[in-house]
Amino acid sequence: MRARLRERVRGRELNAAVVVAAGLGVLLMLVPGLDQPLLLLASAGLLVVAGALATWLVGQRGTVEWTTSAGTPTRVRGSDRRVTALTRTIDRAVAGDAVAQQELHQTVHSVARARLTHLGLPADLDDDGTRAALGPDLTAYLASSPPRRVGTDELASFITTLEEH
């Protein structure tokens, strides 16, 4: 009997709990002498309904998604950590961090050297062909002994210059 009842109720626990509570309420109104025991039974039924509702809500939730307290954005699949690190370096350099400015200067210098090698030009900044390929702004930036502060627009123009040649 219990197994048949469980099979009928499975998946409709909330509906069954409401029907049982309504039946107890009707029985309490029809037989006034049973008010104390039925009131106790109705209270227990409400607890069962609350438990069934909590179980149903947890069961519908599926997987639990945890977020980090640090607020770091989730890494997109296929993204490169080197690009993320370079973005942080650029942000710090634009903000005025001297160490980040040095790292950014070395990175731009490395990319310029690789691009010049690909073009068959020497990496020497005194060479006329090298200065013509890099342009006066990028040449001045690469020649600066302590790296100067560079803005995002100026950095974007450097990258464009390196991409175009």
Condensed to tens digits (0 to 9), the pLDDT of residues 17-55 reads: 778 778 877 876 777 776 777 677 778 888 888 888 888
pLDDT at 16: 76
High-pLDDT (> 90) share of the chain, %: 0
| Ramachandran angles phi, psi of 77, nearest 5° | -60, 130
Interatomic CA distance for residues 42 and 35, integer angstroms: 10
Q: Determine what percent of the chain falls in helix, strand and coil, rounding each to the nearest 5.
A: 75, 0, 25
Q: Which pLDDT tens digit goes with each residue over 78-129?
A: 667 787 888 888 888 888 888 888 898 888 888 888 888 888 888 788 788 8
- Contact criterion met (CB below 8 Å) for 101 and 147: yes
Q: What is the mean pLDDT of the chain?
A: 79
* pLDDT score of 149 more than 60: yes
User: 27 and 37 in contact (C-beta within 8 Å)?
Assistant: no
**Is residue 158 over pLDDT 70?**
yes
pTM as predicted: 0.50
CA distance 83 to 102: 17
Segment 92-95 long-range contacts (CB within 8 Å, at least 24 positions apart): 93/149, 93/150, 94/149, 94/150, 94/151, 94/152, 94/155
Q: In 62-151, where does DSSP find H-type helix?
A: 81-95, 98-119, 128-143
Residue 10 has pLDDT above 70, yes or no: yes
Percent of the residues in the chain that have a pLDDT greater than 70, as a whole number? 81
Cα 165 from Cα 160, distance rounded (Å): 9
- As to burial, measured by CB atoms within 10 angstroms (0-12 exposed, 13-18 middle, 19+ buried), residue 148 is exposed
When comparing pLDDT for 76 and 161, which is higher?
Answer: 161
Q: Is the pLDDT of residue 77 over 80?
A: no
Does residue 134 contact residue 161 with C-beta atoms inside 8 Å? Answer: yes
Question: Treating both helix axes as pointing N-terminal to C-terminal, what angle do 128-143 and 152-164 enclose, rounded to 10 degrees?
Answer: 160
* Digit-coded pLDDT (tens) for 50-76: 888 888 777 766 665 556 556 666 666
Q: How far apart are CA 26 and CA 36, in angstroms?
A: 14
